[in-house]
Amino acid sequence: MPIKVMPDALASRVAAGEVVERPASVVKELIENSLDAGASRIDIELEGGGRNLIRVADDGHGIAAEELALAFERFATSKVDESSDLVAIPTLGFRGEALPSIAAVADVTAVSRHVEAESGAECNVTFGSDPQVLAAGAPVGTSVTVRQLFRNVPARLKFLSSPSAESARVATLVGQMALIRSDVRFRLTVDGVSRLNTPGDFDDAAALAAVYRVKDPSALVNIYADLDAAFSVGGALAMPNLHFGRRSHITIAVNGRLVQTYRLTYAVERGYQGFLPDRRFPMALIKVHAPLEDVDVNVHPQKTEVRFRREGLIFSVVERAVKDALGKRAAVRQFSDTRIASSLTTSLEGAFAMRRSAGVEPATEAPISSEVDERPNNVNGDQTAGNRTKSKPKEQSKSVKHSSPQPPSTARHRDVLPGLRVLGQAQSTYIVAEDASGVFLIDQHAAHERVKFEEIRAKRARQASESQALLSPQMVDLTPQRQVVYSEGAQWFQESGWEIEPFGGGSVLIRAVPQVLAERAATSANAAENALVRVLDDMSQSDARISDADTMPWSERLLATMACHAAVRAGDSLTLESCEEIVRLLQECEHPQSCPHGRPTMLLLTGEVLEREFGRRK
């Protein structure tokens, strides 16, 4: 066919495809317009999955009657002009395509009243027809009603999912928008049934509880953003006992814009590493505040993706904010049998309060620095047990500012554990201890693994890894799979204290092993070979079990595996002095509540539960 200019109606339908994919796309565009208009309340109604009806009403500043028809013209916008910087854009939408694109594939009625006007106006546009404007009574704000979506585009209509599936997509979207704007009250009604109602009281944790229907408020904690900092992070997190099999409960916003970013999602997961089991994901709301000129929002037509000028810095700030928030509200897990305990966790603040009520005060200790580790292996807190020196005040000045002063109740495990009285060992696997809050069962292997992990991690960070030379080098023939694993991490083996040389073909020569493994390596003639093979096999199994996005960095997994092999085992008989030493070392760890692989190190049976079980209280 010859080249020719498309008619306006056809061009509008084609352009609508970039903006309007399904009912959720319509809802997103209309909500963003409401937010840009300064709304404090947004009501969304849906019928038939959005095919029959979509209505979004707000109490924003409204549209003047003489401008209402112009709002349906392509590229008409009040958000940018000739002098605008199209990189540093503060609004959610600015291209002026939302309303005309929606009106090209639906019957649209917009009723609005400007905040300075005494009356409102109504504008009707049917499948791209010319706008028809009439005077109308209306409250301040705007209401947009969309009917018969895609009736003039049967192919698009045919590929929509069922009404229930489309409604679910809209509910998910509205929930995410309600999370990133906890200052706005959102109400969603689907086929006459209320599906969502958020408080709009600026409380991110309350918004998270409303969207995901979390019944226990203590399971959530706010992150307080320092708005004076160039880069900061706010939002809310769920405690580690609340986790899921998918990443669908992680919501990320950048400068108030809902975005999809693998890197920042991974930063959140890194912040939770050591708190969650493998292949489990948290519930989190992360709101990044960054200079507008550092964020490019023009990467995607629907602006769901962004590009950062300093992505590494933002990654570190997000990871550190998550770690700090979890560290201040870490939890000791209670017995989960519903007959024994109605809750899975007890907050450290609660245990700390019990200790104070019993007249037991923790020893005063200098605060731990939150300096960001520039190395790529920052997993479970950058101050570790291997550095067992108290932080100096000057170290505090190096920390990244990411939040305003938090509420005063910030007891940590190190404030609770020093008072533990070790009673002994049970079943050659668990250390039994007590304090005023109750009885603790400590998994001796998981606890010692945490101690060893932080010890060797600190030494490697200081480039002070210790080695034990072998009396005679040991040659090891590696299978092809083990060769791949070793070649991938040869540098990390060397930095962790191994001295290994290629010996031709698939063989290597071990000249020294890390000091942390030396004691167990001395138990047999081929202990060094066995240790290397076990580490390589564990690493290969870990690679096969989980993807790169689901796990800690390769080097961190190597250290965790080494710590696992260096730690005491379940079934090892320990003296009372050895039990006390493990508990003492555990109290000095930054995150003693879990081993590096995410398993809990201890469980708490509170005094209250014991009294109830023995009939001392009801």
Q: Which of 176-180, 196-200, 307-311, 599-603 is the least confident region?
A: 307-311
Helix (H) or strand (E) holding 597: none
pLDDT at 339 over 60: no
pLDDT on residue 145: 96
pLDDT at 543 over 60: no
DSSP 3-state assignment of 128?
Answer: coil
pLDDT on residue 430: 93
Confidence category of residue 115, pLDDT binned at 50, 70, 90:
very high
**Which amino acid makes up residue 61?**
H
Q: Which of 11-20, 457-466, 467-476, 566-575 is the least confident region?
A: 11-20
- Copy the structure tokens of residue 412: 């940590």
Tens of pLDDT, residue by residue over 413-437, are 444 455 788 999 999 999 999 888 8
Confidence category of residue 61, pLDDT binned at 50, 70, 90:
very high
Contact present, 528 and 474 (Cβ < 8 Å): yes
Contact present, 143 and 57 (Cβ < 8 Å): yes
Q: Judging by beta carbons within 10 Å of its beta carbon (0-12, 13-18, 19+), is residue 33 exposed, middle or buried?
A: buried
Nearest-angstrom CA–CA distance, 218 and 224: 16
Radius of gyration of the chain (CA): 29
Q: How many CB atoms lie within 10 A of CB 281?
A: 19
Nearest-angstrom CA–CA distance, 517 and 504: 26
Residues near 297 by beta carbon (within 8 Å), at least 6 away in sequence: 89, 257, 303, 306
pLDDT at 573 over 70: yes
Residues near 133 by beta carbon (within 8 Å), at least 6 away in sequence: 65, 68, 69, 121, 122, 123
Tens of pLDDT, residue by residue over 139-164, are 999 999 999 999 988 888 888 888 98
Q: In this structure, what are the phi and psi dihedrals at residue 362, rounded to the nearest 5 degrees? A: -70, 155
Strands 295-296 and 307-308: antiparallel
Q: H helices of 310-359, where?
A: 311-328, 348-357
pLDDT at 388 over 50: no
Tens of pLDDT, residue by residue over 69-81, are 988 887 666 655 4
pLDDT on residue 579: 93
Shortest CA distance to 169 belongs to which of 306, 21, 33?
Answer: 21
Nearest-angstrom CA–CA distance, 346 and 340: 13
Nearest-angstrom CA–CA distance, 543 and 553: 11
Beta bridge partners of 468: 513
State the Cα angle at 434 between 430 and 438, rounded to 5°. Answer: 110
Higher-pLDDT residue of 65 and 467 is: 65
Handedness of CA 220, 224, 225, 229 (dihedral sign): negative
pLDDT on residue 550: 41
pTM: 0.58
Nearest-angstrom CA–CA distance, 169 and 88: 30
pLDDT (average), residues 494-523: 78
Confidence category of residue 523, pLDDT binned at 50, 70, 90:
very low
